[in-house]
Amino acid sequence: MQNQFKALSLSYKSAPLAVREQVALNEDEIKNFSLKIRDLFNINETLIVSTCNRTEVYYVADENRNADIIKLLLIEKGITDKGEYFAYFQQFDTQFEAVQHLFEVATGLHSKVVGDLQIPNQVKQSYQIAADLNMAGPFLHRLMHTTFFANKRVAQETSFRDGAASTSYAAVALTEEVTQMIALPKILILGLGEIGIDVCKNMAGCEHIFFGANHSFDPQQAEEWAQWERMITHFLARGYLCTLDIPISAVEEFNDGSLCDYRNFVPQIRVSVPYTKLWNYNTMLKIDDKDFDATNPGVWCHSLHSLMSRETFTSWDDYKGDSKV
């Protein structure tokens, strides 16, 4: 099996975020793409790693199928300008190069934070998918277990991971450094993914977590709902006070979930009021319970003038000066 293992990689080193997002694969897409590689190219051993920073395909084949797999991936993602995107991929045509790259990725040498602890787990998850699909044969099984053993030795016998353990860990460390002179600092975390969750987990002393502050909660599919619910439930179950900014259009579907079963969950319903500056100064805002009868006097009223006053509310403009972490 000399020189049969090959690989291709698109990562943060070669492609901007917009491109990485376009070619990224979720778990179901990884499974479907692996099966298409098998059926179209007669490749029976494939490992696909896809994270926010990289999408990579490792495979065992007599022929070099890198170009064919890249074309197939771009077609699957609906990308028509294939010539431009080819330049973003790094191709490893020899077994030595492909194996070396896999070892370096799996140990965190190619992570944004060198020694990142997330990537070994992500590689293991990808290997599990390949095994479940019966697409991890003798070569890939042996290679992956050798990779995991090497990663374990690196962690136990070197000081490689004595610093920041992940991007989220580094973000928390920097945040704590710049806010150490501020009493009860308020920190805005943008992002629903794994790194955003880990930032919250690593934020020592955090008591109240506000989700969806940038109007990001507006799920359209069941899987999106489940993703938000799993993330927030993780913190509710550990005693954190959690608030979620919920658009009024999503309230009925939201109430079918389990978050409201937690007493430490404080939902915030978002209602967009049009043309506030055009209304009379004395205009009042009334919120009715839609299940009450037509004579319902309203359960809450507030002067619309308060909405016009930028001193009363935190303006989104206040966040524009924040530094990226």
Q: Which two tokens stand for residue 240?
A: 């954190």
Which residue in this structure is represented by tokens 């999503």?
A: 250
Residue closest to 23 by CA, chosen among 75, 63, 67 = 75
> Which residue of the set 52, 206, 242, 301 is catalytic?
52
Instruction: Please check whether residue 101 is in contact with residue 9, taking contact to mean a CB–CB distance below 8 angstroms.
Output: yes
In angstroms, the CA 323 to CA 178 distance is: 10
Largest CA distance in the chain: 82
In angstroms, the CA 126 to CA 143 distance is: 14
Residue closest to 194 by CA, chosen among 109, 114, 121 = 121
Q: Is 260 a catalytic residue?
A: no
Question: For the purposes of burial, counting CB atoms within 10 Å of the CB of 97, is it exposed (0-12), middle (13-18) or buried (19 or more)?
Answer: middle
C-alpha distances out from residue 54 to 50, 204, 223, Å: 6, 29, 23
In angstroms, the CA 233 to CA 262 distance is: 9
In angstroms, the CA 233 to CA 281 distance is: 42
Residue closest to 36 by CA, chosen among 4, 7, 2, 65 = 65
Instruction: Please check whether residue 217 is in contact with residue 246, taking contact to mean a CB–CB distance below 8 angstroms.
Output: yes
Residue closest to 265 by CA, chosen among 305, 301, 290, 228 = 228
Residue closest to 168 by CA, chosen among 132, 135, 134, 200 = 200
Instruction: Please check whether residue 33 is in contact with residue 25, taking contact to mean a CB–CB distance below 8 angstroms.
Output: yes
What DSSP designation does 278 have? G
Catalytically active residues are 52
